[in-house]
Amino acid sequence: MQNLSLQNENLADSFRLHCIKCGHVQDPEISSYCEHVSFVFLPDYDFEYISPESEELIAKLQESVDRDDSTDMESMLVNLPSTKSSFIIEIGSAGFSCGPSSFRALYGFDLAI
């Protein structure tokens, strides 16, 4: 799948991701996502959000990950077949708070919806 990576070098600065189709702010703090978001995956944790349309696909990917210890969910998501309307935006933040800290989130979008 097409992948765009954005880095925010200061955790104190908030980064607001807007949908490029409808303009809605994607807000993980209150689990507010527009209809174009297929999933939000936090590589160090799990899925924050899965759209109803993507539940079957994510379940199949999870089965593959469970069967094969050499693969992980992040690589499965990033390697999904590309379409003209689907892509992933990776948001990464790094900073220092009582030691080095970082955060990453993968937002899957499908603009065909």
Domain coverage including residue 74: 2-110
Q: Decide if 64 contacts 76 (C-beta within 8 A).
A: yes
Res. 2: pLDDT tops 90? no
Could you tell me the CA-to-CA distances from 82 to 15, 47, 109, 110 in Å, in that order? 26, 20, 11, 11
- Entry pTM: 0.84
* pLDDT above 70: percentage of residues in the chain: 88
Residue 87: Cβ within 10 Å count: 19
Here the tokens at position 20 are: 């490029």
pLDDT of residue 12: 46
User: What is the total count of domains within the chain?
Assistant: 1
Q: What is the pLDDT of residues 8-38, one digit of tens each?
A: 665 445 567 899 899 999 887 788 899 999 9
Q: Provide CB contacts within 8 A for 81, sequence distance 6+.
A: 1
